Amino acid sequence: MNSGDVMSRIVEIRDLKKSYEDGNIKALNGISLDIEEGEFVSIIGPSGSGKSTLLNMLGALDIADSGSIRVAGYDLKENKKLNVFRGDKIGFVFQLHNLIPNISVCENVEIPMYTQGLSSKDMRKRSLELLDEVGLKDKADIRPTKLSGGERQRVAIARALANNPSIILADEPTGSLDSKTSNRILELLINLHKEEKVTLIVVTHDMEVAKLADRIIEVLDGKIINAEDGTLLENKIRVEN
Amino acid sequence: MSFLSLIIKNPFRNKSRALLAIIGIGIGIATIIALGAITEGMISSADDTLRAGGSDFTVSGKVEGESSQMVGFGTSSFDDDYVDKLANVSGVDRAVPIYMTLLMTKNSPYFAVIGMNPSDYKIAELTITDGRMYKDGTDEIVLGKIAADNEEKEVGDTILLDDKEFDIVGIYESGNSYQDQGGFTSLDNSQKLSDDEGKVSTIYIKVDKDADVETVEKRIDDEYGDNLTTISSLSDLDMVKNMIDMLNGASLAISILAVVIGAVGIINTMLTSVYERTRELGVLKAVGWSDGKILLMIIGESIVITIVAGIIGSIAGIIGVELIVLSNIMPLLTPIYTVNIFVQAFSIALFVGIIGGIYPALKAVKLPPTEALRYE
């Protein structure tokens, strides 16, 4: 990405720290990071490095101990209505799709829309549009249990897009899929990112997946390090790809 | 899909678990409905018996001790001199002597023989549907519709009561199950059946048109209160009162038990459901659902189960009571289903639903989303 591009900053993190078990486990140990609107960023690192904790912080699923974090105009350390932020600004895609088994594919995509005060008719209309985008409109009225793993993940992506989020946060979105299906899911995510101009942040431990991003951020022991040479880049905000 | 549809669908993901919870609560609701209908029936039946016909109040003999509780049901008797005495009390239009006795017949354990002068039949509000009224000085009897069916008798047949044969000359309906399961004959006949000649068990009092019932009642109480007792309402009857208190007490105890057992059952069901759906609840939080909405959903699901249990329990309760009626285990039972019974049952169902849903719902809300999403 060229530093000369005029883009607004959608993520602004400064010296973010988070520890668990009375400070014994330092999940995030002073992370500073900026992400521009419309960027595709991948966060890589080994298990326990803090990459998922960072993603949870970005989606306001977890609260930091210290430092500051602003996402899509929300101060996530001060704001109390984090569910509103999540509903309006974030679309999550998890490693496991976590679809509700007893309702239809279409109804699963409608789930985030319950926060938006839409009528049942409008919810279904929007849901069908999204399922069309992910190529599953013909399976709208069947149960997710009848779908393959890849199809379920596509439903989960449609669900993530339900409320026109500013950012899609994907935690190992291809982690439970075979390589052929993985490629299709990644292709879908990247196309949506480009078409909808939505910021895409993907946590992965797969370097092949990470390389598809505009920028790779490597996390180790709760800190951001340079992806190429492993040099510690404490206090350095941007990591050029 | 509306939020309400989601709430209605969710409890039935695991159908066998939902069904077990519904059966558990439904049994409590069925018992509440059945006991309620039986109690209401008994109250109404006792009330009808007391007010038999167009009397304003009844007078019975006063007996000290335990047996006083049986007053009004024809098991205690007093001298028939009082009939004339009461007829002469100021404000009394008519004093109608009645002698009631319960006999056992071939087909019925409780056959009420009610002795009354045939000229007084209007006060008993009998409608002769077949044949005619009995005559004084004969062995004639008229049978209630239910008694005629039970005994398989019709006009022209005879019936054996306590080794004495009576000619059935008419069939009547009074709308009072107690009376319709027995028969009316002359005062003389019923007294003889109990070897209790010169006695009556009850006197029906009809006051003058312009007289005040309470004033007349007080006059009788003042003058004959030592030996007689006036009964104008159910609450005057210790026996009936005690019985209804007992049934109401049993109803209350069962309602409390139903609430406790139902609440424990539904808490268990909903907690299991919440644990099973931990990841899903994490997703709901991740997509922006507020704690309030999740709380509402879980409590709503709990209420759906208890309301379904309320409906099924009510139907089961009615079927149960009707089976008791059909089997003739309680021959005098005429159940009455009032709106109040169903309101009470559904209020309990709703209460159990809310109480049973709160704890699991709070558990669901308190789950940190990150932990919920990691849950295996």
Q: For residue range B156-182, what is the model confidence (pLDDT) as tens digits?
A: 999 988 888 999 999 998 877 778 889
pLDDT over threshold 60, residue A241:
no
Specify the pairing of strand A40-44 against strand A199-204: parallel
Catalogue the long-range contacts made by B37-40 (C-beta closer than 8 Å, 24 or more residues apart).
Answer: B37/B317, B37/B318, B37/B321, B37/B335, B37/B336, B37/B337, B37/B341, B38/B247, B38/B321, B38/B330, B38/B333, B38/B335, B39/B244, B39/B247, B39/B248, B39/B251, B40/B335, B40/B336, B40/B337, B40/B338, B40/B341
Taking CB atoms and an 8 Å cutoff, what residues of chain A touch B281?
A: none
Pairwise CB contact (< 8 Å): B280 & A98: yes
B370 → closest Cβ in A62, A96, A110:
A62
Ranges A187-191, B42-46, B74-78, B349-353: which has the least confidence: B74-78
**Would residue A30 be called left, alpha or beta, if left means φ above 0 and alpha means ψ between -120 and 50 degrees?**
left
CB B103 within 8 A of CB B162: yes
- Grouping H, G, I as helix, E, B as strand and the rest as coil, residue B210 is coil
Q: Tell me if the pTM is above 0.80.
A: no
pLDDT at B35 over 70: yes
Strands (E), chain B: 57-61, 78-79, 92-103, 111-115, 127-131, 140-144, 158-161, 164-173, 183-185, 199-200, 202-207, 228-231
CB B157 within 8 A of CB B131: no
Percentage of residues in chain A having pLDDT higher than 70: 90
Q: Are strands A66-71 and A74-75 parallel, antiparallel or unpaired?
A: antiparallel
Q: Which of residues 323-342 of B touch A (CB under 8 A)?
A: none
Instruction: Report the chain A residue with the minimal C-alpha distance to residue B279.
Output: A98
Specify which residues A40 forms β-bridges with.
A200
DSSP H helical ranges for B154-198 = 177-180, 187-193
Residue A127 buriedness (CB in 10 A; 0-12 / 13-18 / 19+): buried
Query: Counting runs of H as helices and runs of E as strands, what totals does chain B give?
Result: 12, 12
Residue B4 in contact with partner chain A when CB distance is under 8 A: no
The string of pLDDT tens digits covering residues B84-99 is 999 999 999 989 999 9
